[in-house]
């Protein structure tokens, strides 16, 4: 999925939630131990939704 910042409000909210969850986790958890499941739980999204936005195997890169 190619994100350019002009997506609808739901997409923007989802992306923001993912970034915020990652920022919270990186402060308390070793990077290598962060899981997509925990990231999705904190962002209040489904893992499938996470993979829709970030299909690569790496985590969020800003």
Q: Output the DSSP codes for the chain.
A: ----S-S-HHHHHHHHHHHHHHHHHHHHS-GGG--HHHHHHHHT--HHHHHHH--SSS----
Tell me if 18 is assigned to some domain: yes
Tell me if 59 is assigned to some domain: no
Question: Residue 48 belongs to what domain range?
Answer: 9-53
Tell me if 1 is assigned to some domain: no
Per-residue pLDDT of 7-41, as tens digits, reads 789 999 999 999 999 999 999 999 999 999 999 99
Q: How many distinct structural domains can be found in the chain?
A: 1
Tell me if 32 is assigned to some domain: yes
CATH code where residue 35 lies: 1.10.10.60
- The model carries a pTM of 0.76
């Amino acid at each position: 999925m190619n994100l350019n910042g002009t997506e609808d409000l739901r997409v923007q909210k989802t992306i923001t939630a993912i970034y915020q969850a990652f920022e919270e986790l990186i402060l308390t958890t070793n990077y290598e131990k962060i899981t997509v499941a925990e990231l999705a739980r904190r962002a209040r999204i489904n893992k499938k939704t996470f993979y829709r936005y970030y299909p690569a195997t790496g985590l969020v890169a800003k």
